[in-house]
Amino acid sequence: MKTRIQNAKLVQDNRVEARDLYIEDGVISGIFPPGTGEKAEREVDAGGLYLSHGFIDIHVHGGGGHDFMDGTKEAWDGVRRLHLEHGTTGLAATTLAATMEEMEDVVGLYEQCKEEVGDGARLLGLHMEGPYLSPAQSGAQDPAYIRNPVPEEYERLVESCSGILRWTAAPELPGALAMGDYLACRGILPSIGHSDAAFAEVREAAAHGFTHITHLYSAMSGITRVGGFRRGGVIESAYVLPELTSEVIADGCHLPAELLTMAYRFIGPDRLALVTDAMRAAGQEEGESILGSLSCGQRVIVEDGVAKMPDRKAFAGSVCTGERLVRNMVKLAGASLPDAVKMATETPARILGLSDKYGRVEKGRRADLVLFDEEIHVKLVMTDGEIRYSCQG
């Protein structure tokens, strides 16, 4: 069946322009100025809404009351469904520091679920966050599971799963640079996160494949003094080293407007991706929740639009969704709408090496699309050209 989306405003390539979009067999078959194409078997009137590629979240743990660490297909489907309703059509299922047994369960479940789309966001692959993290920058990760890189562990996981896209680790740990070399040789992106590295260590790590920074500003080193002399940390490296890309949790809580603005202006939309880092309470009411698996996770409190550790001294992940990321970058950081959309679509796809398939609205690509209004509230979501969510009348 041929589908035509009429009266849409396509947001792409630093501009917004009226376009009609044609879809056949789940693929975009044509993009034309409005009213210049023929009628289709199915007509979708966008009514002047904005149209873009669906949002791509390269760092998400959970949502809708579920976490990828729960280790069940029901949980995975629940996470994917919740985020699709907020505009995310593709995501990287993200782990936490855990036992080897839990990590093996996750990679095994991915192999079972990787081809499914249905009414949820597409599983693009896995993001392994930990357990090879700095104890000094553990953040909300459970210190009981944090350890130095163990080749026998990470090699076994990589060899058993085709879908690992990125792995967050602290590059200053013993054995981390060798791990970076191993991952990079296999097309997996080593990411710097939960790290206490100094600038010189980050620069060295970049030469071993660590070219991305996980949730900039959160759980990482900044300027320190050694013998009276100041030195930069991971944060400063993100701005200074052009070979590095970064991601920010643009929930309006983890980073205030001024830091979102600074990252947008000085790192820029080509090197900066928006991520939710959402935990299971995304889309749920405030109150108590669990970070990580139901069996081994940590108790957290959700209030003020964010998850907090029980003592309320630190955050424990966000409850954000894709549309909120884009909205906040426009309203808090002063980003143009095309730039905000780019940081939620094209840039994350390129960071993961998936830009040949995802991130842009072009002829010949899968029709993974989102329609949203002036306030960046999602109204319709498609994957493979099929309407998976709609709140239009």
State mean pLDDT over 63-69. 97
Per-residue pLDDT at 33 exceeds 90 = yes
Regarding beta strands 88-94 and 122-129, do their DSSP bridges make them parallel or antiparallel, or are they unpaired? parallel
Q: DSSP string spanning 309-324?
A: -TTSSSEEEE---HHH
Determine the pLDDT at residue 36: 86
Residue recorded with tokens 């002829």 = 363
pTM of model > 0.85:
yes
pLDDT category at 118 given cuts 50, 70, 90 is: confident
User: For the chain, what percent of residues have pLDDT higher than 90?
Assistant: 94
State which H helix or E strand residue 161 sits in: none
Instruction: Check residue 210 and report its DSSP letter.
Output: -
State mean pLDDT over 316-340. 97
d(CA 217, CA 103): 26
Contacts of residue 152, Cβ cutoff 8 Å, sequence gap at least 6: none
Determine the pLDDT at residue 158: 98
State mean pLDDT over 365-377. 98
Per-residue pLDDT at 392 exceeds 70 = no
- Residue 232: C-alpha distances to residues 196, 198, 201, 246 (Å): 11, 6, 10, 16
Per-residue pLDDT at 17 exceeds 90 = yes
In this structure, are residues 385 and 27 in contact, taking their beta carbons and an 8 Å threshold?
Answer: yes
d(CA 378, CA 372): 4
- Residue 361: C-alpha distances to residues 131, 261, 262, 333, 358 (Å): 36, 27, 28, 25, 8
pLDDT category at 69 given cuts 50, 70, 90 is: very high
CATH hierarchy code of domain 54-351:
3.20.20.140
Q: DSSP string spanning 246-311?
A: EEEE-SSSSS-HHHHHHHHHHT-TTTEEEE--B-TTTTS-SEEEEES-TTT-EEEEEETTEEE-TT
Range(s) for CATH 2.30.40.10 in the chain? Answer: 2-51+362-390
142: number of Cβ within 10 Å:
17
State which H helix or E strand residue 325 sits in: helix 322-331
State mean pLDDT over 57-79. 97
The model's pLDDT over 180-191, given as tens digits with 9 standing for 90+, comes to 999 999 999 999
Among 170, 172, 198, 167, which Cα is nearest to 184's? 167
Per-residue pLDDT at 59 exceeds 80 = yes
Residue recorded with tokens 């936490």 = 96
Per-residue pLDDT at 12 exceeds 70 = yes
d(CA 139, CA 121): 28
- Mean pLDDT value across the chain: 96
As its CATH architecture, domain 2-51+362-390 has Roll (2.30)
Range(s) for CATH 3.20.20.140 in the chain? Answer: 54-351
Per-residue pLDDT at 393 exceeds 70 = no
The model's pLDDT over 128-173, given as tens digits with 9 standing for 90+, comes to 999 999 999 999 999 999 999 999 999 999 999 999 999 999 999 9
d(CA 355, CA 345): 9
Structure tokens at 301: 């409190």
Range scoring the smallest mean pLDDT among 177-181, 285-289, 292-296, 349-353: 292-296
Per-residue pLDDT at 323 exceeds 90 = yes
Helix (H, G, I), strand (E, B) or coil at 229: strand
In this structure, are residues 232 and 199 in contact, taking their beta carbons and an 8 Å threshold?
Answer: yes
Determine the pLDDT at residue 312: 94
Among 188, 184, 163, which Cα is nearest to 107's? 163
Determine the pLDDT at residue 296: 86
Residue recorded with tokens 């199915």 = 42
Per-residue pLDDT at 91 exceeds 90 = yes
State mean pLDDT over 227-251. 98
d(CA 56, CA 344): 6
